[in-house]
Amino acid sequence: MIHNKKYFTFITPSTVLKTMIYTNVIMFIISLIFSGRNMILSFNPFRAFTPSTDVLNFLGASGRLPIVKFDAWWSLITANWLHGGLLHILFNMMALYTLVPLVMKEFGIFRMFCIYTLTGIAGFLLSYMGNVYITIGASSGLCGLIGAALFFGKSRGGQWGQLVYKQTSGWVISLVLIGFLMPNINNWGHAGGLFAGIFFGWIFGYNEKRKENIFDKSLAIFFAVLTLWLLLKSVVQGAILLYL
């Protein structure tokens, strides 16, 4: 066990949070570069710096179109790291900056990443089943983290548990309102991520129930390597398609 602890010491909450944010930002910049003249530059904040739909497709957007037409089931993972505009990524990264430390504190670094990945998959899978044409964004995974935090707060109870439950309940209400008031919101992805987050929060358990073990760490590293491989593969293939 001492060996395992030493092996994972370089993985810290700060490093993981920064890596997740940097990955989203880098993929967004790449999508804009690949879009070139097809990028939408608009004074409308909801459309400013919008990548080309074709570029988002081959970088890993999910939904009915990519999965049915291109059999891109791998997009259930990659879509969690793509964004459709400047405002889109800003809002999601601010939410990530708030949620990830909270979930890491109660579930641990590795379980947090497993929950983020699995709930992202669940959200995009439900989007596919709900006939969403094309969809991207960290929202499914973020809703998954909200669901896990919601489960933690309700399960733990006490002053801290009630505080977390109250705060996350407020986020859920905000999500519902945003889903009704704002255009082009993928409510299927939000709902799928949220309920999957509650489920996986229960399945994985939190620190006060059990400590992270080698299975949690191995699964998280598997998801991290798989995600990195799929994103790099889509970027390389996109570069070849565009420039060669």
Query: Can you give the three-state secondary structure of the chain, one letter per residue?
Result: CHHHHHHCCCCCHHHHHHHHHHHHHHHHHHHHHHHHHHCECCCCCCCCCECCHHHHHHHCCECHHHHHHHCCCCHHHHHHHCCCCHHHHHHHHHHHHHHHHHHHHHHCHHHHHHHHHHHHHHHHHHHHHCCCCCECCCHHHHHHHHHHHHHHHHHHCHHHHHHHHHHHHHHHHHHHHHHHHCCCCCHHHHHHHHHHHHHHHHHHCCCCCCCCCHHHHHHHHHHHHHHHHHHHHHHHHHHHHHHC
pTM here is 0.94
pLDDT value for 26: 98
Domain boundaries, the chain: 2-243
Q: What is the mean pLDDT of each run of 10 residues along the chain (244 residues)?
A: 58 96 98 93 81 95 96 97 95 96 98 98 98 96 98 97 96 88 88 98 97 97 98 95 82
pLDDT value for 122: 98
CATH topology of domain 2-243: Rhomboid-like fold (1.20.1540)
